[in-house]
Structures are given as structure tokens and as C-alpha cells.
Amino acid sequence: MANDFLFSDEEIEEEVQYESSWKIMIVDDEPEVHAVTKLALSDFSFQHHKLEFISAYSGAEAKELILAHPDTAIILLDVVMETDDAGLQVADYIRNEAKNQFVRIILRTGQPGQAPERQVIVNYDINDYKSKTELTAQKLFTVIMASLRSYRDIMALEKNRLGLETIIQASANLFANHSMDSFINGILRQLTSIINCTNEAMYVTSLIADNHIGHGELVVLTGQGEFANLEGKRVFDVITTDPLKQAFDEAIDNKAIVYGSDFVVAYCESHSDHGALLYIANISEELSETDKHLIELFTKNVQIAYDNVLLTLDIENTQKEIVMRLSESVECRSEETGNHVKRVAAYCRIFARALGLSEEETDTLVLAAPLHDIGKIGIPDRILNKPEELTEEEWVIMRTHASQGYHILKGSDKPIIKAGAFIARDHHEWWDGSGYPNGKKGSEIHLYGRIVALADVYDALRNKRCYKEAYDLERTLEEIKAVKGKHFDPELVDIFVDNIDEFEAVLASLPDK
């Protein structure tokens, strides 16, 4: 049988060392079959990658090895081993229990009549079915080559599917945190799967987005293969060789695509003056004209999409800054530094997290909280900054700031402004109904108003005001616990007490000056 494998004589070239390999699993209870198969395929390579052999000598061992090596490309599987259908049991296990639909299975048998060929191929997604006696070295070469091409194409389709899935998920909420990174990563994954020459690529930019800070210096926005998990790294800490640095400089200077021997550096067109580049590395074969056209399309379109998202983010950040500055301007009238509204916003995030609010609700609450005292803009300075106790008439005027704030903000269809209106209106309502302006009680008070009420009072107690000195932590806790269920929502008081260290940390990080 060993001689049958080597029936056709072929020259064996000097072995070449490659960076990666295709995994081939040989499953057969005859050791000589393993030896002869390895010898027959010793000089085999496909797309500049050699073969890596994994040996199993029983069906049970094969089941363990396929779990340990899910990236196996081909299994040369003997049908008859410890039992007459051991190989078929392995095939069934791979497809139905291990859920591996990618590996190509080539059945080999010394007893062709043992299993009906048509039924086996249909039921177990078998790539080929060969009698051991007919597998010469040339035929083995042919079947391995065909199966590897099939495996390569299947994996390219899977990679394409994952890339498309990433794009769809990111597109569902394109302006959320990090979604643009995911969007570009999905496109990058699809691009490399279509050109099918490499899995190593990264997208770099000097733009500022999410947590990536370029400040004009190129940083990695997203990458895959060896460049995965390098987000935020300086490009020239990753790319260190002079020829590659020169290629990057050339692409930027000429706003062009630079094709190297095994890499591509492509300048990505943009409405802005910021530089962005696509880098594809370790290309195993010459790019076709179609591949080059796809790269060109990527460079023309992806950065424009990214610029548009950054423009939207810039508008959103401008809106947030206006809200914060407006809130701070009101606090400055009452001789406070403005850090009060920043602290209240930070306290609200602690409450939101403990309550399990969604990310969207949390952001809305945190961004709207600084507007709680916006109505004070209508309160005279003589009352707002009076160091003595207010008269009853002055208290009547002071209490109008809640209603005034609501009337200033109401009627907007923007989530932050709408939330700000509810907070301004309700943050002086008391849990027992004795608050103002409407005497609401319990859950009638908007949740955001209940949260800001406690955050606001805690901050006022712990800091010096024109009418009082700062309280220490012990006295502050006593004051708040004393009005649990009366002034404040009992659940929120419990959250406050349980997380007091976090509140104190915020207080320490944003002190009044």
C-alpha cells in the first residue's frame, strides 16, 4: 500500500520555510499511512504556506484533536479503524457536535464497499472519497490542492460574513461610542477577505475620535491579524523599518497608493487636511487589477464617512459644552465656582449605574443634570447671594426658580433639554409630598429629579456656601439618613450610603477653588 502512494515519481524540491501553514490532520490506525502521506506531501505548498501535519490513530483521538485544532483545513480520514464505522462517527461528530462546517474531509478506505459513497458524501459534507489504493502521490497532490482551495474560499466567505455582520451592528447606532471603529473594522475585514491575499491590515488616522487622540500624529484606529488590539498606538511605534516609514511618508506626501513587494500603504481621501492611511501587510501573492480597484474604492470612501461622523460628534460635543457653560454661568452668579454642576453630573452617573439604567438613559441624565438650577437666572442677586436666612417673602421668590427653569426648557423635542426640564421642575419635590413647586410625592416625582435632588443636597452640605460652612462626612450622612423616606427616595439613600466612597472620590477630584 505504501508503494501505491508513491506510484507516480515526482521531484522533491528543497524545503522552504514559511511563516504560517495549513493544518492537515491524518486520521488512520496504520502508522505507515501517516509516514507515507507526509512524505508524499513533503514539498507541497499553497499560497506560499506549507503544510502542518497532525496525527490521530483512532476515531476517539481524532475527536479530541479537532477540538484542539478547530482551524484544521483538511482531514484525511480512514473509515475503518477501531470499529467498521469509526471514521463516519468522526465525520458526524465534526459536523454535528463540534459544529465545524469549515474543515474539508477526505475519506480514505481500504474497503470501498464498507460505506455507500453517495450517502456518506451527502450526509457528512465530504469533500472527496478515495480508495487508498488509488491515491498515488499525484492524485493526493490534486485532491489536497482542490480541497485547500475550497477551504480557502469557505473561510473567505465566513470572514466576509463576519465583516458584514460587524458593519451592520455598527451601522445600527453609528454615532455611539466606538461604533465607527467597529464600522471601519468591518469594512477592513471584508476588504481583506475579498482580496484574499492576507489577514494583516490596519487603518491609521491623526483625527481625534472617541478615546483615540492623534493630535496630528498618526495612531492606529483599528487593525486585524498582527495589528489587532493596537488601537491608540503610535504608528511609528508599530512600524519600525525605514522602507515602511518611507512608504508611509510617500503615501501622505503624494496622497497616493504605494505598492510594495508584499504590502500596500494607501492614502485615504478626506474633506479635511488630516492624514489617514490604510496599511495591508504580508501580501502572499500579486494583487490583481480587481484587488487594486477595491483598495482604491476603500480609500476614496471610508475616510469621507469617518469625517462625517466626526463632524456630527463635534456638533454633539458643542451642544454639551454649551449646556455645561450655561449651567456654570448660573452657578457663578451664586458665588460658586461651577464645579458644583460637574460634581452633580458625576454623582448622577454613580446613581444611574447602581440603578441599572441603560447607557442612553445614563448619558441623558448626566448631560441634563447641570441644568437643574437654570431657573436661578431669574432670581435677583440680593436673594441668591444673601448670607443671612431668607425672609418668607424672599423664599417665595427663591422657590420660583424650579418653575422658571421648567418653563425655560419645556417644549423641546431634544432628549437632553427635555430631561433638563423635568429635573429643573422636580428636584425640589420631596418624597413625602411636602416639597415644591407642585407638591408631588413618591414616584410622581420624575426619577431624574429624585436623583438630582439627593446629589444636589449632598454637594451643598459637603461644600462651603455663602450661608454655611462645609459639613464633614459624618454630619452629612446623619442629615441625609434623617430625611430618608421624607425628603429623599429611600432606595436612592441606600445606594448613596452603599457607594459613599465613590461620591467622596468625585468630591475630592473636583474641589471648589
Percentage above 90 pLDDT, the chain: 43
Is the pLDDT at 455 greater than 70? The verdict is yes
Q: What is the mean pLDDT of residues 281-304?
A: 78
**131 DSSP β-pair partners:** 109
Q: Which residue has the higher pLDDT, 307 or 100?
A: 100
Instruction: Read off the pLDDT of residues 239-288 as tens digits, 9 standing for 90 and up.
Output: 888 889 999 989 988 889 999 988 999 888 766 556 688 898 888 777 87
Task: Give the pLDDT band of residue 194 (cuts 50, 70, 90).
Answer: low
User: What pLDDT was estimated at residue 18?
Assistant: 35
Exposure string over 265-274, b if 16+ CB within 10 A, otherwise e: bbbbebeeeb
User: What pLDDT was estimated at residue 11?
Assistant: 38
Burial class (CB in 10 A: 0-12, 13-18, 19+), 183: buried
Instruction: Read off the pLDDT of residues 490-503 as tens digits, 9 standing for 90 and up.
Output: 999 999 999 999 99
Identify the weakest region by mean pLDDT among 120-134, 162-176, 389-403: 162-176
Is the pLDDT at 94 greater than 80? The verdict is yes
Question: Distance (Å, rounded) from C-alpha 181 to C-alpha 186?
Answer: 9
Q: What is the mean pLDDT of residues 400-407?
A: 93
Q: Which among 115-124, 271-280, 336-345 has the top mean pLDDT?
A: 336-345
What is 281-303 written as a DSSP string? E---SPPPHHHHHHHHHHHHHHH
Question: Distance (Å, rounded) from C-alpha 101 to C-alpha 99?
Answer: 6
Q: Are 41 and 141 in contact (CB under 8 A)?
A: yes
Question: Distance (Å, rounded) from C-alpha 492 to C-alpha 473?
Answer: 17
Q: What are phi and psi of 444, to 5 degrees?
A: -65, -30
| Domains parsed from the chain with CATH numbers | 2-153 (3.40.50.2300), 173-310 (3.30.450.40), 334-509 (1.10.3210.10)
Q: Which residue has the higher pLDDT, 168 or 302?
A: 302
User: What pLDDT was estimated at residue 418?
Assistant: 94
Task: List the end-to-end C-alpha distance of the chain, in Å, as a whole number.
Answer: 89
Residue 139: active-site member: no
Is the pLDDT at 216 greater than 60? The verdict is no
User: What pLDDT was estimated at residue 226?
Assistant: 87
Q: What is the mean pLDDT of residues 144-153?
A: 92
Options 376, 418, 440, 481, the catalytic residue: 376
Task: Give the pLDDT band of residue 229 (cuts 50, 70, 90).
Answer: confident
Task: Give the pLDDT band of residue 322 (cuts 50, 70, 90).
Answer: confident
Mean pLDDT (the chain, rounded) = 83
Is the pLDDT at 181 greater than 60? The verdict is yes
Is the pLDDT at 45 greater than 60? The verdict is yes
- Specify the pairing of strand 264-267 against strand 276-281: antiparallel
Question: Distance (Å, rounded) from C-alpha 49 to C-alpha 198?
Answer: 12
